[in-house]
């Protein structure tokens, strides 16, 4: 997801520092990554703008292509599924009507209606949740991924209702910067759900999983995307335990901080929200899950994926085909057996040059 311009800036800076007009000032740069994953986010950007912002380095692509196959096969212990994921990521999986591919039958959950189907997905991904609410290993090893925040919030609301224990609710303090005439009532600001910001009403329980939305202290594991388990609540502090990574098991205190979106142009004003920089993470967006390893994964697609690499990222978060389940609400009737969903791949990003 790194933008091409960021790498180019490092290149120019090293050339200026060293005075050597070679790539990166003649210094050896080792980069690791997976070119099949989602691309940098360009708000309301066209396909051409998104591709233009992407990093394309053919020599590195040739090097990592074989490495990625080995990593997938070792992690998944399922050569067929590893090959399937690679075909999905490359856009070479057999498709119908342009971009629709078939999800393996043993990975699908039949769709009947939204309410019952979501309940079935929750039961498959979080079986016996009532008897495992205090098991951090159980909670953190499972998640349901979806494309948009609306679907994620719907599932998280259902999950926190099912979760045992006393509920703690934190409300945000919202205001508009430089709104001297009070054009925007607080009630209106509280009703806004903005991508990248925590909700106005944050419902939590002891033992529930949360995900960090900001870099607070990266050197101690508090980075954007870190998953934690709630352990206690104070008025202006949440006691939590880091659940994954090299800092797993470390207890931390999360403060309530002011947050705003400096580059957001959804509204004709600049919203400032003071709230804990977290969200529930029973469910999370596919983009937010990139880089995570989740042993038991559910994928909920009420609508088809809408950007490059999203389906590949969703299906490859798990570690096995058997523990990855997909629920698709298809708007099309293909008049054939199987469950189909769209797979968006910008081939020009992966093309050898």
pLDDT tens-digit profile, the chain (353 residues): 678 888 889 999 999 999 999 989 999 988 766 777 888 888 778 888 888 888 765 444 444 444 444 444 444 567 788 888 889 988 999 999 888 999 999 999 988 888 899 999 999 999 988 888 888 899 999 999 999 999 999 999 999 999 988 899 999 999 998 888 888 899 999 998 888 899 999 999 999 999 999 999 999 999 999 999 999 999 899 999 999 888 999 999 999 999 987 665 677 888 899 999 999 999 999 988 888 889 999 999 999 898 899 999 999 998 888 899 999 987 777 788 889 999 999 888 877 55
Q: Give pLDDT, residue 258.
A: 94
pLDDT recorded at residue 263 = 62
Strand order in the sheet with 339-342: 95-96, 100-103, 339-342
Tell me how far the alpha carbon of residue 45 is from its chain's centroid. Answer: 19
> For 23-33, what is each residue's pLDDT tens digit?
899 999 887 66
HSE-up (13 A, CA, CB side) for residue 28: 1
Angstrom CA distances, 66 to 70, 83, 207, stand at 7, 12, 40
The answer for residues whose C-beta is within 8 angstroms of residue 168's C-beta and 6 or more apart is: 203, 204, 205, 233
Residue 109: the pLDDT is 93
Q: How far is CA 90 from the centre of its chain?
A: 20
Q: What is the pLDDT of residue 64?
A: 45
Taking Cα atoms as reference points, which of 349, 230, 344 lies closest to residue 280?
A: 230
**Residue 284 and residue 281: Cα distance in Å, rounded?**
6
* Rounded-to-integer distance, Cα 134 and Cα 208, Å: 9
Q: At what angle do helices 79-90 and 58-76 cross, to 10 degrees?
A: 150
In angstroms, the Cα distances linking 337 to 104, 261, 307 are 11, 45, 26
Rounded Cα distance, 337 and 74, in Å: 32
> 157 in helix, strand or coil?
helix
pTM of the model: 0.86
Give the E-state strand segments of 48-146 in sequence order.
95-96, 100-103, 142-146
The closest of 343, 342, 344, 346 to 331, measured between CA atoms, is: 342
Return the structure tokens found at 300: 């909920």
Query: Domain-by-domain residue ranges, the chain?
Result: 4-88, 160-282
d(CA 34, CA 71): 11
CA–CA–CA angle 5, 267, 284 (5° rounding)? 65
Per the structure block, which two tokens stand in for 185?
């009532």
End-to-end CA distance of the chain: 20
- Measured from the Cβ of residue 314, the count of other Cβ atoms closer than 10 Å reads 28
């Amino acid at each position: 997801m790194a933008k091409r311009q960021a790498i180019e800036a490092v290149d120019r800076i090293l050339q200026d520092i060293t005075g050597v007009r070679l790539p990166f000032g003649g210094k050896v740069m080792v980069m690791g990554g997976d070119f099949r994953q989602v691309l940098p986010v360009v708000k309301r950007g066209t396909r051409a703008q998104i591709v233009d912002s992407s990093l394309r380095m053919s020599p590195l692509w040739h090097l990592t292509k074989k490495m990625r196959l080995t990593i997938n096969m070792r992690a998944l212990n399922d050569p067929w599924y590893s090959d399937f994921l690679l075909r999905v990521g490359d856009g070479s999986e057999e498709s119908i009507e342009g971009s629709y591919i078939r999800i393996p039958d043993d990975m699908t959950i039949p769709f009947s209606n939204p309410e019952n189907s979501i309940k079935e997905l929750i039961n498959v991904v979080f079986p016996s949740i009532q008897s495992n609410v205090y098991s951090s290993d159980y909670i953190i090893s499972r998640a349901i991924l979806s494309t948009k925040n609306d679907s994620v919030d719907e599932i998280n609301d259902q999950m926190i209702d099912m979760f045992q224990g006393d509920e703690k609710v934190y409300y945000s303090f919202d205001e508009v910067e430089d709104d001297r005439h009070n054009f925007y009532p607080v009630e209106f600001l509280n009703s806004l759900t903005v991508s990248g910001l925590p909700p106005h009403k944050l419902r939590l329980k002891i033992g529930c999983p949360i995900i960090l939305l900001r870099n607070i202290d990266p050197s101690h594991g508090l980075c954007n995307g870190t998953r934690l388990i709630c352990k206690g609540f104070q008025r202006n502090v949440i006691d939590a335990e880091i659940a994954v990574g090299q800092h797993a098991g470390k207890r931390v205190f999360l403060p309530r901080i002011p947050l705003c979106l400096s580059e957001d142009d959804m509204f004709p004003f600049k919203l400032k929200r003071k709230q804990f920089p977290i969200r529930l993470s029973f469910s999370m967006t596919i983009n937010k899950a990139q880089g995570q390893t989740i042993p038991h994964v559910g994928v909920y697609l009420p609508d088809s994926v809408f950007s490059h690499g999203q389906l590949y990222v969703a299906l490859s978060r798990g570690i096995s085909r058997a523990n990855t389940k997909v629920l698709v609400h298809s708007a099309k009737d293909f008049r054939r057996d199987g469950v189909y969903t769209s797979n968006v791949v910008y081939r020009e990003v992966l093309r050898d040059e």
